[in-house]
Amino acid sequence: MEYEIKQVDKFKFIEEGEGEPLILLHGLFGTLSNFKDLIEYFRQHYKVVVPMLPLFELDLLHTSVGGLEKFVHKFIEIRNYEGVHLLGNSLGGHVGLVHVLKHPERIKSLTLTGSSGLFENGMGDTYPKRGDYEFIKKKTELTFYDPNTASKELVDEVYEIVNVRIKAIKIIALAKSAIRNNLGEELNQIKQPTLLVWGNNDTITPPFVGREFHRLIPNSELHFIDKCGHAPMMEVPHEFNQVLHKFLTKLNQPAAVV
């Protein structure tokens, strides 16, 4: 399915469907393909919005979690979205967390999957290793429980990024910013209902990270998915969509009268 990429001012984004906005924030190597099953399913029920985060467009000083959050904030303001369901994977989850802490007023719910913000295993000091396709392939496969999920197209995209020197530098800057920007002491301020969906086989943000988010975010629920790595919405889209849909549906049901 090909989606129209819209542009308003400096913002490029996809917007599919009608209803309450469901905004999806991708991670460090995120592309639209990460969310294709999610978009296709939820566009029947919500206005699904995917902004293209400017991972490589910001100047180096603002290539950080905070810089990306400012971009997301301006995007939500200029599009005048209200009652937003905000979902982020990996670095996108981290950006979503910072946004909810700074600007909670337009956010109705938060969903995190494999989010940074507390702890993550980076790609290691040797990363990015330019020019070594097999190395990049192996590192990309580590994102998933089933290495076959790392399609040639996905590996090619990562390989292309790390072989452009300025992009490689910005990837490292963002990864270091995520490690520095630990939100452990602030998460108890989040008031929005929060869904945590974690792969039981996530080696980048392991299961204990999901449990710690659950402990620290007051109104949160945690779901683990077996045989699943760092990107559940890609690796097990059917199960991920069911968990998310149930959570969002429950939010819109009137409270039971006791």
107 — pLDDT class (breaks 50, 70, 90): very high
Phi (first) and psi of residue 7, to 5 degrees: -135, 125
Domains of the chain, each with CATH number or no CATH: 6-119+183-251 (3.40.50.1820)
Percent pLDDT > 90 in the chain is 80
Total Cβ atoms within 10 A of residue 149: 17
pLDDT at residue 128, as a whole number: 52
Distance of CA 247 to the CA centre of its chain: 17
Q: Give the CA distances from residue 76 to residues 22, 73, 80, 83, in Å, rounded to whole numbers and listed in that order.
A: 11, 5, 6, 11
Judged against a pLDDT cut of 80, whether residue 130 lies above it is answered with no
d(CA 97, CA 86): 9
Q: In what order do the strands lie in the sheet with 194-199?
A: 6-8, 11-16, 47-51, 21-25, 84-89, 107-113, 194-199, 220-225
pLDDT at residue 32, as a whole number: 72
Is the four-CA dihedral 50, 55, 59, 62 of positive or negative sign?
positive
30 — pLDDT class (breaks 50, 70, 90): confident
Total Cβ atoms within 10 A of residue 215: 12
Ramachandran class of 220: left when φ > 0, alpha when ψ lies in -120 to 50, beta otherwise: beta
d(CA 35, CA 109): 18
Judged against a pLDDT cut of 50, whether residue 67 lies above it is answered with yes
